[in-house]
Structure 1
Amino acid sequence: MNKPDFRFRLQFEVEEQNILLREFLHSKGISKRTLTALKYEGGALQVNGTERTVRHPLVSGDRVTVVFPEERPSEGLRPEDGALSVIYEDEALLILDKPANRSTIPSRDHPDGSLANWVAGKFKKEGVPATVHIVTRLDRDTSGLLCIAKNRHIHHLLSEQFKVRGIYRNYLAIAEGHLPSGRFTIEQPIGRKEGSIIEREVREDGKYARTDVELLSHHRVNGEELSFISLVLHTGRTHQIRVHLQWSGHPLAGDDLYGGARKLIERQALHCGVLGFVHPLTGEEMMFRSEIPADMLQLISKDHGVISRKL
């Protein structure tokens, strides 16, 4: 009995006349590294159903099939069963809604129970021969949307896309104090804080970082002033929102690493509510939304602040 072939495949129809297979694949975003993997790790290139090399000449109307090697799950990632909140899934992508207090990937302090462990368990259960490719990552205490690619080629395509046009990420947050009304931009470079492997800070020799901020409402809870805000990331530096808000003098509520207090909420009040990008295979504009979680909603609901725009 033949073993089922679960290898990922892409199919293209050639419109050009007299083009080498290598050049055609390059135009479709297939990297040299991927071509090497196809050759030596169990992949295949087929033209009209027949296996060919990259030197094969193509003509208009040819059908090209790229069979990607079967990926082996990372040995350091133990598959586990877990309740994933799947927002969207197809052959290439998996969009999840991550709860707070859940790591995206395993760490020394939390080697098990991460979303990556659970996704590895899902892939194993469904017979998907892939490891977990995290495209957008969230801190352990940050909730909301994140994107996972089902194979390294899709991860490569998304990474290249993000370099050119970026990815739309809109966050909802609750900051300490009353921020100014309207919209403003924080453009401050971020780098690693000396003496720490975790903390970042605004510093002149850091990397460029831009965060757009919009005030949604002011609140007063148990005598504490709070601001409910919307933020759009234009860069993806580690802890970017947390560092920029600390620099502004308005750290996130609950973010004790960056100056916030945990009197009102037990984690940094930060949620990725909107995630948008172009699908790497179809070219379709994708936009996903996640409602504000209960702990953040409950906090601002304790005071009847005026919301400045519809969420």
Structure 2
Amino acid sequence: MTRRLQYKIQKQHNGKSIGMFLKEKEYSRAVVIELKKTQAGIKRNGTWAGVNEIIKTGDILEICLAEQAYSENIVPKKGRLNILYEDEDILVVNKPYDTPIHPSVNNYDNTLANAISYYYHQQNRPYIFRCINRLDRDTTGVTIIAKNLLSGSILSRRMKEHHLSRIYVAFVEGITEEEGTIDLPIGRMEDSIIKRKVDKKEGKSAVTHYRRLEVFQIEGQAVSVVALQLETGRTHQIRVHMSAIDHPLLGDFLYNENNHMLTRQGLHAAYCAFYHPITGEYMKIAAPLSQDMERLIQQGLNRSQEGYDLENKLLALKW
């Protein structure tokens, strides 16, 4: 894909080098190196320019991010793709369950990466897969994909610095407190490469905040729907923390193997807020519940109408 950007130099940048200006615009060193390799990757007033050139008020700086490569190990394969938002820099989808993010030994062509590669292959556009927030195979919801090297580097850094605000929704056993904070370190289970546990001696710090949204009964068993925000991003953090306070997720075969109300763990990445990596616009993107969660909550709340108003429920929260 090719992304072209144009900047009119303002007074506050007069006398700075192009390299300094790009750094202020959050261009990473890796992005600048690629621009230097690209013919006419950087142009000042229509002429190919180097990063050490000095810019003046009123100059027009043109940037060309040209990528003709593609992710060689990702086979284009049509799949479920629910697009929530798309522009020149980012693609945001509502990831379905039973869908891994990346191909692996046992998941060669059934992943989100395959479906997105197919989507752009149909448009004859070369594409490198850059997923910003990775979800477990059976976790549904908001997943952000960068469409170029610049948006990818900016969002990846913000993700590491916890500058992407995310809210998850979980269906858990029992009636939780109305709200709470779980501050318990998490470490790897000794006899498993996948499973995690609360480990107060050797675990890494993990903090989860939660608010209860709903309570209902299914076949005599109480279920709470909770919204969660994470201060940290440990593997299986929500699943481990909710199990630790005796409210394990429905359908979680790892941490609650006897519950079969859902066929997968009841966890959904419901909402994400962040500043657009290029325009700076503040983005708020919500993903509706998947069909299995929607059916369960309608059954539990004894409602016949379709569409649980999840987005407004989340926006009403005061974290």
Q: Above 0.5 in TM-score? A: yes
Q: Which moved more, 1:47-56 or 1:102-111?
A: 102-111
State the 1:82 CA deviation. Answer: 2.6
Output the amino acid matched with 2:37.
Y
Query: Percent of counterpart pairs with the same letter?
Result: 35
Matched, 1:199 2:195: yes
Matched, 1:20 2:17: yes
The question of whether the paired residues in 1 share the 8 Å contact of 2:8 and 2:59 is answered with yes
Partner of 1:79: 76
Matched, 1:36 2:33: yes
**Which stretches in structure 2 are left out of the alignment for 5+ residues?**
314-319
- Local SS of the residue matching 1:160: helix
Relative to structure 1, the CA distance from residue 194 to residue 152 in structure 2 (aligned partners, 3 Å threshold; closer, same or farther) is: farther
State the 1:164 CA deviation. Answer: 4.2
Q: Report 1:1-311 matches (<5 A).
A: 6-15=1-10, 16-40=13-37, 44-164=41-161, 166-180=163-177, 182-204=178-200, 205-304=202-301, 311=313
Q: Distance in 2 between matches of 1:31 and 1:9?
A: 17
Q: Which moved more, 1:110-119 or 1:29-38?
A: 29-38
Output the amino acid matched with 1:31.
S
- Local SS of the residue matching 2:2: coil
The question of whether the paired residues in 2 share the 8 Å contact of 1:217 and 1:305 is answered with no
Cα deviation, 1:81-125, whole Å, max 9, x if unaligned, reads 234111110000001011111222212221112111111111222
State the 1:152 CA deviation. Answer: 2.3
Relative to structure 1, the CA distance from residue 42 to residue 50 in structure 2 (aligned partners, 3 Å threshold; closer, same or farther) is: closer
So what's the TM-score if we normalise by structure 2? 0.88
Relative to structure 1, the CA distance from residue 188 to residue 299 in structure 2 (aligned partners, 3 Å threshold; closer, same or farther) is: same
State the 1:163 CA deviation. Answer: 4.0
So what's the TM-score if we normalise by structure 1? 0.90
**Which stretches in structure 1 are left out of the alignment for 5+ residues?**
1-5
State the 1:203 CA deviation. Answer: 1.9
Aligned length: 304
State the 1:63 CA deviation. Answer: 1.0
State the 1:130 CA deviation. Answer: 2.4
The question of whether the paired residues in 2 share the 8 Å contact of 1:219 and 1:305 is answered with no
Q: Distance in 2 between matches of 1:99 and 1:283?
A: 28
RMSD: 2.2
The question of whether the paired residues in 2 share the 8 Å contact of 1:7 and 1:129 is answered with no
Q: Distance in 2 between matches of 1:130 and 1:12?
A: 25
State the 1:128 CA deviation. Answer: 2.7
State the 1:43 CA deviation. Answer: 6.5
Partner of 2:316: none
Output the amino acid matched with 1:13.
K
Q: Distance in 1 between matches of 2:239 and 2:139?
A: 10
Output the amino acid matched with 1:7.
T
